[in-house]
Chains A and B, each alone.
Chain A
């Protein structure tokens, strides 16, 4: 596939596929609860509706509030261009892109929190404070996971890592990868405000983490936020799928693997949300530290050559 075509395919995936994940999760939960549930494509309708609407801005807010959603979305889209999707190659991949990936995620989060604080609302302040606390625990875990994934290749880039972790590679240790994938799933739940860390469907503002930070956004701004949230889930899903499934060089076969993997992951997230309750907020750090411990197990397994 020619580079322009690959770039176009990559961009189309980033723009088009993430909302489908949310639709699949909603349908999984509806099925588990014995309901019919919203249409699979409902998130796309929501985005279209929000984009047609006007936005309302409180007089107490400044340009930071208006910039929050668009900067966050831009940061995540850029992070998406650093992440390999259908192949092991990313359009903007470079040596050290895993660090840039983590920083772009942090930028998106920072802008969301700054916009929340900009409203001066006590709710949004609470949400931003929770986000700051919990992200201080997930970010080290994410970097540790990326380190475990990159160690076999000895290369701090996604492309190098994915080329090296293909399951068919002779002499590859599987235990570190499995531990990293498990930790990545926990981080995915936490970073994407899913149960057991956050409840994306609740209307109770006092209990929310992510949702409460975006309460004041409306119209196209809120559409950007929705898409950015779906995109973040999609990117974490991409990392997880690459960590556990081998991708052949062929982009179309890779696309099929990616799609199947993302759908399976959405069903898995929906299943988790259908069988357990949310954690008490004070216990969330324990959950996150648990994720960190799993990642450490992966690191230890790598250095002690366990599971080779």
Chain B
């Protein structure tokens, strides 16, 4: 990112609270320009949200806050613009495709209209369609992008599926078996998590954060704790930092292993499906033995972690993990050595590096396309400031690359956990939280197993959190799946989908 031209921005860091009033206000067009420039030179849009109305401010005006991550310099750029209720502003999406879902979200929740958005329609709230109809660029009907021509046909899948999976609607425009365009319509899991979160007591908020995506309980819980601790200006003990790292990596291990099994199952490769499936259970059981919950719910809490690890427990965990690693290696070598499996993975669902960067993809999906980005290294916090995990990337951007990145990350996470189990300090005591600082904004980034999780917390003048935004990695990556399917076989969609393995609940909130 260029050094000059940084007027109109406030630089912050991961899990550092900054004063809201210090975030510069710029005209909407300038905000759009500035975001586009930052993203053109290596930045990513991590969050885009509307700040809550400040009690004393002029009525009807809202602030739109953009958070751009500068991965090379471990810093976050903040800028805001003022938009009057019911009015339009210059859409970021016009030049910055990765803003498209954020602006649709803002449009349907606040009624602020992003002028120049290329495909403005509700993101989650289909019931609100009529209320918003006047502003839709595409007319009042729930429009799907359509392709016309000889031999073109449309296939609609979901939201009710044949398997036990979450609901989502997929609209394929096909020529024979070849997909020309895929549009993904989500929102069927919308639970009103953001509104519920703000209504709830501080104690319940952790439980809600952990439920944003049930398979990412540790990472979302951790992001919430980091945001709250930043606002309270508290740092947890070194032992607790290590424990949080171990929990986060165990979650990654269980989910990556489960993904490899599911990928085998989708190509009909029985040994991989069965054995990875069993090993995922074994990994979840490590979290169970430690925290009493297979998904690590309630383990991470503001100020520390609930359970430490006694030396005997640690050596037992190390032994179990060693056995799991041995079996994982055998199964992975079997899978990668089976030509019929590799033939299915290679050259399926390719995402080029350019597309991954334009869409702001995150996590293993982005790394598989050659984007060298990982919050653990780029915006380190907690234990990751002291213990480094090498970032795994691949170049080809296909299903095979996403498999290889997951397998590399499994090996590196195991090494990290083994090392931390030896070296971690005993003291994981929970530190009490002081009252939160008033009129601050804190951004917490965590590299969950799917990718970057961003929690943005905003406090009012009385120190209460009155604005909060969670961004699950799925929110960035769903559009990548749609693009990955172009020119692919429709019969390869389930495989491609599984290689992304995105959360519906995490997107729909």
Q: Name A's B-contacting residues (CB within 8 A).
A: 29, 32-35, 122-123, 125-126, 129-130, 195-196, 199, 201-207, 215, 273-283
Q: Which of B162, B267, B340, B343 contacts A205 (CB 8 A)?
A: B162
How distant is the Cα of A132 from the Cα of B477 in the complex, in angstroms? 37
Q: Name B's A-contacting residues (CB within 8 A).
A: 153-157, 162-163, 176-177, 264, 266-271, 273-275, 278, 338, 340-341, 343-344, 348, 489-495
Residue in A closest to B273 when the chains form the complex, CB atoms? A33
How distant is the Cα of A45 from the Cα of B338 in the complex, in angstroms? 35
Tell me which of B266, B340, B492 has the highest count of chain A C-beta atoms within 10 A of its own C-beta: B340
Residue in A closest to B170 when the chains form the complex, CB atoms? A206
In the assembled complex, 21 residue pairs joining A and B whose CB atoms fall closer than 8 Å, in A order, are: A29-B270, A33-B271, A33-B274, A33-B275, A34-B278, A122-B153, A126-B490, A196-B340, A203-B163, A206-B494, A273-B270, A275-B270, A277-B264, A277-B267, A277-B268, A277-B343, A280-B348, A280-B492, A281-B177, A281-B491, A282-B177
**A274 with B271: CB separation less than 8 A:** yes
Given A32-B270, A126-B490, A206-B491, decide whether A279 and B340 contact each other with a Cβ distance below 8 A. Answer: yes
**B270 with A278: CB separation less than 8 A:** no
Given A33-B271, A205-B162, decide whether A277 and B344 contact each other with a Cβ distance below 8 A. Answer: yes
Q: From residue A104, how far is it (CB to closest CB) to chain B in Å? A: 29
**A33 with B270: CB separation less than 8 A:** yes
**B274 with A282: CB separation less than 8 A:** no
CB contacts (< 8 Å) of A201 on chain B: these are 268
| Sample of 15 further A-B pairs with CB below 8 A, known A33-B274, A203-B162, A283-B343 | A122-B154, A122-B156, A199-B268, A201-B268, A206-B157, A206-B491, A206-B494, A207-B492, A273-B270, A276-B338, A277-B268, A277-B338, A277-B340, A280-B343, A280-B489
**A204 with B494: CB separation less than 8 A:** yes
Given A280-B343, A281-B489, decide whether A205 and B271 contact each other with a Cβ distance below 8 A. Answer: no
CB contacts (< 8 Å) of A130 on chain B: these are 177
Q: Which of B157, B344, B348 contacts A278 (CB 8 A)?
A: B344
Q: From residue B173, how far is it (CB to closest CB) to chain A in Å? A: 11
CB contacts (< 8 Å) of A278 on chain B: these are 267-268, 340, 344
How distant is the Cα of A304 from the Cα of B343 in the complex, in angstroms? 37
Q: Number of residue pairs across A and B with beta carbons under 8 Å?
A: 90
CB contacts (< 8 Å) of A281 on chain B: these are 177, 489, 491-492
Q: From residue B27, how far is it (CB to closest CB) to chain A in Å? A: 47
**B268 with A273: CB separation less than 8 A:** yes
Q: From residue A143, how far is it (CB to closest CB) to chain B in Å? A: 27
Q: Which of A122, A196, A282 contacts B489 (CB 8 A)?
A: A282
How distant is the Cα of A206 from the Cα of B162 in the complex, in angstroms? 10
* Majority secondary structure of chain B interface residues (helix, strand, loop or mixed): helix
CB contacts (< 8 Å) of B163 on chain A: these are 203-204
CB contacts (< 8 Å) of A283 on chain B: these are 343
CB contacts (< 8 Å) of A206 on chain B: these are 155, 157, 490-491, 493-494
CB contacts (< 8 Å) of A274 on chain B: these are 270-271
How distant is the Cα of A196 from the Cα of B270 in the complex, in angstroms? 12
Q: From residue B98, how far is it (CB to closest CB) to chain A in Å? A: 28
CB contacts (< 8 Å) of B495 on chain A: these are 207
CB contacts (< 8 Å) of B177 on chain A: these are 126, 130, 281-282
Tell me which of B154, B177, B270, B343 has the highest count of chain A C-beta atoms within 10 A of its own C-beta: B270
Residue in B closest to A196 when the chains form the complex, CB atoms? B340
CB contacts (< 8 Å) of B264 on chain A: these are 277
Residue in A closest to B341 when the chains form the complex, CB atoms? A277
How distant is the Cα of A205 from the Cα of B176 in the complex, in angstroms? 16
How distant is the Cα of A32 from the Cα of B272 in the complex, in angstroms? 11
CB contacts (< 8 Å) of A215 on chain B: these are 162
How distant is the Cα of A275 from the Cα of B340 in the complex, in angstroms? 9
Q: From residue B281, how far is it (CB to closest CB) to chain A in Å? A: 13
Residue in B closest to A205 when the chains form the complex, CB atoms? B162
Q: From residue B12, how far is it (CB to closest CB) to chain A in Å? A: 44
Q: From residue B471, how far is it (CB to closest CB) to chain A in Å? A: 29
Residue in B closest to A123 when the chains form the complex, CB atoms? B155
CB contacts (< 8 Å) of B155 on chain A: these are 122-123, 126, 206
How distant is the Cα of A123 from the Cα of B154 in the complex, in angstroms? 10
Q: Which of A126, A195, A207 contacts B494 (CB 8 A)?
A: A207
**B162 with A204: CB separation less than 8 A:** yes
How distant is the Cα of A283 from the Cα of B492 in the complex, in angstroms? 12
**B271 with A32: CB separation less than 8 A:** yes
How distant is the Cα of A276 from the Cα of B338 in the complex, in angstroms? 7
Q: From residue A195, how far is it (CB to closest CB) to chain B in Å? A: 5
Question: Across chains A and B, which 6 residue pairs bring their CB atoms closest together, nearest first?
Answer: A33-B274, A278-B268, A277-B267, A277-B269, A199-B268, A203-B163
CB contacts (< 8 Å) of A199 on chain B: these are 268
CB contacts (< 8 Å) of B343 on chain A: these are 277, 279-280, 283
Residue in A closest to B343 when the chains form the complex, CB atoms? A280
CB contacts (< 8 Å) of B176 on chain A: these are 129
How distant is the Cα of A195 from the Cα of B340 in the complex, in angstroms? 11
How distant is the Cα of A122 from the Cα of B171 in the complex, in angstroms? 11
How distant is the Cα of A138 from the Cα of B274 in the complex, in angstroms? 32
Residue in A closest to B269 when the chains form the complex, CB atoms? A277
How distant is the Cα of A94 from the Cα of B283 in the complex, in angstroms? 63
Tell me which of B154, B176, B268, B492 has the highest count of chain A C-beta atoms within 10 A of its own C-beta: B268
Q: From residue B261, how far is it (CB to closest CB) to chain A in Å? A: 11
CB contacts (< 8 Å) of A276 on chain B: these are 269, 338, 340-341
CB contacts (< 8 Å) of A126 on chain B: these are 155, 177, 490
**A205 with B157: CB separation less than 8 A:** yes
**A202 with B268: CB separation less than 8 A:** yes
How distant is the Cα of A203 from the Cα of B161 in the complex, in angstroms? 9
Q: From residue A199, how far is it (CB to closest CB) to chain B in Å? A: 4
Q: Which of B268, B273, B490 contacts A195 (CB 8 A)?
A: B268
Residue in A closest to B162 when the chains form the complex, CB atoms? A203
Residue in A closest to B348 when the chains form the complex, CB atoms? A280
Tell me which of A29, A33, A199 has the highest count of chain B C-beta atoms within 10 A of its own C-beta: A33
Residue in B closest to A209 when the chains form the complex, CB atoms? B491
Q: From residue B343, how far is it (CB to closest CB) to chain A in Å? A: 7
How distant is the Cα of A276 from the Cα of B334 in the complex, in angstroms? 11
Q: From residue B323, how far is it (CB to closest CB) to chain A in Å? A: 16
Residue in B closest to A199 when the chains form the complex, CB atoms? B268
CB contacts (< 8 Å) of B491 on chain A: these are 206-207, 280-281
